[in-house]
Amino acid sequence: MLTKTLPRVYHRLLAYIGGISLRSAIILAVFFGLMGSAAILIPLNTNSIETSARERQNQDHLRLANILAVIQSEPLWQITPDIARVSSNVVYSDPRIASIEVFSFPDHKQFIKLADRKATLKGPFTVVSRSILHDDKVIGDVELTMADDILIAEERTALISYSITAVISLVIAIMLILLVLQRRLVEPIKGLVKHSERLANGQLTYPITLDRSDEIGHLAQSMEATRQALAQIFSELAIKNNQLTDYSNTLEHKVQLRTSELEAALRNINQAHQELARIERMASLGSMVAGVAHELNTPIGNCLLVASTLEEEVQKFQESFLRGTVRRSELEQLITCSAESSALLLRGLHQAAHLVGDFKQVAVDQSNVQRRQFNLHTMLFELTSLLMPGISKTPYILVLDIPSDIQMDSFPGPIGQIFTNLINNSVAHGFNGRDYGNMRLAAKVEGDKVAISFTDDGVGIPPEILHRIYEPFFTTRFGRGGSGLGLSITYNIVTNVLGGEIQAVSEPDKGCCFTITIPMITPNMEEVTNQSDLDFMT
């Protein structure tokens, strides 16, 4: 189903793109390019403006605090609060200052406090404290409280100014591009289109001239050369047609014509045979395709809903941006929505990709199977190590009991796929939501073979369906995360790739056990597979 849907979507997209004019396509490309650049540069410049303004205010804050510490030294030493207040007014005249407090040392008793502006300023507020020295001795300290109201207003003004400048630049760029396109591209192309229509109608007597040395001029020269060549070819064809007319009246020509008709009929018959064979193959896959389509509907539908929501948010932000009323909260909301939507889209697409990957695995790609020598304990330990992060999030426990001296000459990739499927099946479906569960992966040598068993103590498999678990797309959990492909893939890998056997034993509410017996040295593929198996692998 997916292989039919994707080409249709692709052709529809090509048809839509091909339906818009060249000018519109270039304008859209430039517009989205500029919008993308603005979407990157505006946050960067906004952050730069905020950082620069914050640094200036911090420097002013420290400088004023240092000035206060100097001018308060003598009044505090002489204990003259009136003089201290007068001298502090120089700093307090700064509208950003919320309050000034001077304390004596060491009792930290308040010496002076100027009128508190915190009631009129919105804040937030920053406090800087400096020690007051007299003859290199600490005699007190001064606390200078500064509000960020003016800083925030300056940042907002700078952001609005920058946004307006970006919009104006975008509009001017589009207008200039429109003007250049109209005069240098659209109008000349329209003229060439008229000449092309004349060529299509067989009107080869009109010369094509365009006095330009750019690509459009080269195109006009090429079309003129084509016109001249077509005129010559048509003249030659007319002569040859007259000759063919004479030849068709002869017996030899009739025999050749009949032979051509018979060859065409034979080709049609062969094509019909091929089509019938294809229909038979497709009919055998009908049930599997229906199952995959059903499972793909949910994640793709969710992705479509999320994409639609994200599109609406982007349109709202674009409208605010064009009006010049963009607020930081709207930008943050768009970023948050984009991040959440991306996560949901990735989750849905990963689910769909996983299902498609499982579907493709039904016919194992033999070209991807690599054979090598390896230690079974090491290979399975590495595999379970990769699976442990996911298992650790569940209440289930996986125990590995593999002897360390089992050396194999086989295909580690397919073996890993087998036990990945079995472990994932147990975690997802084997315990039916229980808050406890145990899984065990063990192996033992039996002559020239190794028997690897995977056991869990979950709910087990009902006896009435145990004989069907290896059928492709057989599952009791369609619509709830089950695709019915895992055990089918496992069976085909064990029997067709590894030349082994698989047995399943289960009791309701006591769990199940899969025992896989495979040669430690896998025989050559021609000894394992017959022709149908090779067809499956390829």
- The average pLDDT across 247-252 equals 70
On whether both 333 and 373 belong to a single domain, the answer is no
Domain membership flag for residue 371: yes
Once rounded to an integer, what is the mean pLDDT over residues 367-384? 81
Residue 498 or 364, more confident = 498
Worst-scoring range by mean pLDDT, 190-199, 269-278, 335-344, 445-454?
A: 269-278
Check residue 398 and give its pLDDT.
94
Predicted local confidence at residue 478, as pLDDT? 55
| Tens-digit pLDDT profile for residues 412-436 | 888 888 888 898 888 888 888 788 8
Q: What is the pLDDT of residue 500?
A: 93
> Do both 408 and 459 map to the same domain?
yes
Claim to verify: residue 333 and residue 383 sit in the same structural domain: no
Residues 374 and 407 both lie in one domain: yes
The last residue of one of the domains, among 338, 361, 384, is 361
Shared-domain flag, residues 312 and 392: no
Q: Are 484 and 475 in contact (CB under 8 A)?
A: yes
pTM (2 decimals)?
A: 0.35
Q: Residues of the chain with pLDDT > 70: what percent?
A: 78
Check residue 95 and give its pLDDT: 77
Does 302 share its domain with 377?
A: no
The answer to whether 69 and 130 are in contact (CB under 8 A) is yes
Contacts of 174 (CB under 8 A, 6+ apart): 27, 30, 31
pLDDT of residue 476: 64
Residue 384 predicted with pLDDT over 70 = yes
Task: Please check whether residue 230 lies inside any domain of the structure.
Answer: no
Reported residue count of the chain is 538
Q: Is residue 517 part of a domain?
A: yes
Report if residue 56 sits inside a domain. no
Boundary of a domain, candidates 152, 182, 211: 152
Q: How many domains is the chain partitioned into structurally?
A: 3
Out of 123, 152, 181, a domain closes at 152
Tokens 């579907």 -> residue? 359
DSSP for 84-99 reads: HHHHHHHHHTSTTEEE
Is residue 482's pLDDT more than 60? no
Statement to judge: residues 397 and 496 lie in one domain: yes
Does residue 100 fall inside a structural domain? Answer: yes
Q: Which residue has the higher pLDDT, 478 or 35?
A: 35
Decide if pLDDT at 43 tops 80.
no
Same domain, 390 and 492: yes
Structure tokens at 242: 């007259």
Same domain, 470 and 523: yes
Residue 168 belongs to some domain of the structure: no
Q: Residue 500's domain spans which residues?
A: 366-537
Q: 355 with 484, same domain?
A: no
CA Rg value for the chain: 40
Tell whether 303 and 334 lie within a shared domain: yes
If you average pLDDT over residues 350-373, what whole number do you get? 57
pLDDT of residue 405: 93
pLDDT beyond 80 at 439:
yes
What average pLDDT is seen over the chain?
A: 76
Q: Are both 355 and 389 inside the same structural domain?
A: no
Least confident of 314-328, 423-437, 469-483, 490-504: 469-483
43-52, 115-124, 225-234, 522-531: the lowest-pLDDT one = 522-531
132-169 b/e (C-beta count within 10 Å ≥ 16 → b): beeeeeebbbbbbbbbbbebeebbeebbeebbeebbee
Place 505 in a pLDDT band, splitting at 50, 70 and 90.
very high
Give the span between the Cα atoms of 53 and 46, in whole angstroms.
Answer: 11
Confidence label for 274 from pLDDT (cuts 50, 70 and 90): very low
Is 203 or 135 the better-scoring residue by pLDDT? 135
Q: How far apart are CA 99 and CA 329, in angstroms?
A: 30
294: pLDDT strictly greater than 70? no
Angle at 3 between CA 483 and CA 344, to 5 degrees: 55
pLDDT band of residue 538 (cuts 50, 70, 90) is: very low
Tell me if 38 is assigned to some domain. no
Is 376 part of a structural domain of the chain?
yes
Give the pLDDT confidence score for residue 283 in this predicted structure: 36
Proportion of the chain above pLDDT 90, given as a percent:
11
